[in-house]
Chains A and B, each alone.
Chain A
């Protein structure tokens, strides 16, 4: 069993919270939409506070920054992909190209990174840091979020 197979089997066995009456947003045209990336890659701007081993908070990444470090504590993640090309986790350059070509309306000024450290009931992210991240994105006029897991 390689590391990916182990992680997939382990993750699939975890309890998944359920959402009754889930919300559904019908977005406007993509060509007018402001798009943000939210990742669980534990990325942070070099020099910012690193993630602690049980960190449930998030870091804000300015649209212009590319000097990013992956701060996962678990040794079970492949961190080489992101070193080869940040876009394989955080496709910021791809969004800039889509905005330049008019496919999307604009790139959000701020993007968000979590470390994915959560208790099984995901209470912290559900009731605290998740809504705080949503408020920040709303403040920036974000219409669409693309979520990238690590």
Chain B
């Protein structure tokens, strides 16, 4: 972002960067930056809070009054990413004979469909569709049971496959969350720590890693610190 600021400025366009990594902004030194210590992925701070978002923009636009730079100002409010999983009740088990993750994934399908209809878009579909999520989870279980990932998984791109599974859950959860909207990382924590599917993805990742697969095949199946 800071690099683009220099490029745009050279082209005659005034710029303001909403900085999220202060050390990087200091290094690249764009002409004007408002550092916002907010959860990553939320540069305006708080979803569905127009007043807060307007305040961020107002403090950003004020920087246009400066006569020389680089200008780097801190937004006065800090918001930490939540470190607690969001409270999200899953539907009860329906089919005791199905793999728990598969039963779980089927159980949240209606919530996923509601979320998709409400938002008009879905980010599921990079490798598989929502219909394919239960069978993809079954395939991951077979990898955990020792079958070769390259033969069992529906697509070779494990990053895209796990993206779609996690996104299916996160979009469904938007309809299931009880209480305030989840903060940064709260939904990620919920998926990997509270759901059967999240546990399955983590175990399949470990199995693929231990089978000697190349780093990019297993590493990007989950966030790096998992």
Contact = CB atoms under 8 A, between A and B. Distances in A.
B16 A79 contact: no
Interface of B: 1-24, 27-31, 39-48, 50, 53-54, 57, 60-61, 64, 67-70, 81, 83, 119-123, 126, 159-160, 162-163, 166-167, 170-171, 174, 181-182, 184-188, 220-225
Interface string A58-84: 000000001111110111111111111
A88 B42 contact: yes
Given A148-B43, A149-B43, A150-B41, A75 B166 contact: yes
A148 B17 CA distance: 7
Contacts of A7: 40
A120 to B, nearest CB: 12
B174 A83 contact: yes
B53 A87 contact: yes
B7 A126 contact: yes
Nearest to A150: B41
Interface residues of A, number: 80
A68 B119 CA distance: 10
Interface of A: 1-4, 6-8, 10-12, 14, 16-19, 22-27, 30, 33, 38, 40-41, 46, 50, 53, 66-71, 73-85, 87-89, 91, 93-95, 97-98, 103-104, 114, 118, 122, 125-126, 130-131, 133-135, 137-138, 142-150
Contacts of A97: 50, 54
Contact of A38 (B4, B48, B123, B188): B4
A146 B16 contact: yes
Nearest to A125: B3
Contact of A79 (B2, B3, B27, B167): B167
Contacts of A88: 42-47, 53
A66 B118 CA distance: 13
B159 A24 contact: no
B13 A134 contact: yes
A66 to B, nearest CB: 8
27 contacts: A3-B40, A3-B185, A3-B223, A11-B23, A16-B28, A18-B28, A19-B29, A23-B6, A25-B31, A27-B14, A66-B120, A75-B159, A75-B162, A75-B163, A79-B170, A80-B170, A80-B186, A83-B174, A84-B47, A87-B53, A88-B42, A91-B53, A125-B7, A145-B5, A146-B15, A147-B16, A150-B43
